[in-house]
């Protein structure tokens, strides 16, 4: 059976977690598998990093705490 997801729960993380993840994405150290496919995936991850940066830099955005 296939499971489709459209979001990832970040409840309990801090904005600094997102900043650190964004930094890791930008490090791009080598590649895995087919170079073109890797570069395409990396371009997608850079878009994610931009979203993480927007969240990190917006003082009006809060991340929900764990319940």
Q: What integer pLDDT is reported at residue 32 of this predicted model? A: 76
66 part of a folded domain: no
Q: Write down the H helix ranges in 1-67.
A: 15-27, 35-57
40 part of a folded domain: yes
Q: In this predicted model, what pLDDT tens digit does every residue of 13-50 receive, in sequence order?
A: 999 999 999 999 999 888 878 999 999 999 999 999 99
Structure tokens, 66: 């764990």
Could you list the residue range(s) of the whole structural domain that residue 20 is in? 15-57
Give the total number of structural domains in the chain: 1
Q: What integer pLDDT is reported at residue 30 of this predicted model? A: 82
Backbone angles phi, psi at 60, to 5 degrees: -85, -10
CA 33, CA 38: separation in Å to the nearest integer? Answer: 7
65 part of a folded domain: no
Backbone angles phi, psi at 36, to 5 degrees: -65, -45
Q: Is 37 helix (H, G, I), strand (E, B) or coil?
A: helix
């Amino acid at each position: 059976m296939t499971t489709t997801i459209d979001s990832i729960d970040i409840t309990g993380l801090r904005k600094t977690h997102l900043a650190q993840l964004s930094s890791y994405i930008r490090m791009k150290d080598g590649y895995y598998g087919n170079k073109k496919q890797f570069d395409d995936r990396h371009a997608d991850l850079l878009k994610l990093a931009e979203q993480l940066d927007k969240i990190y830099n917006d003082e009006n955005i809060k991340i929900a705490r764990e319940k």
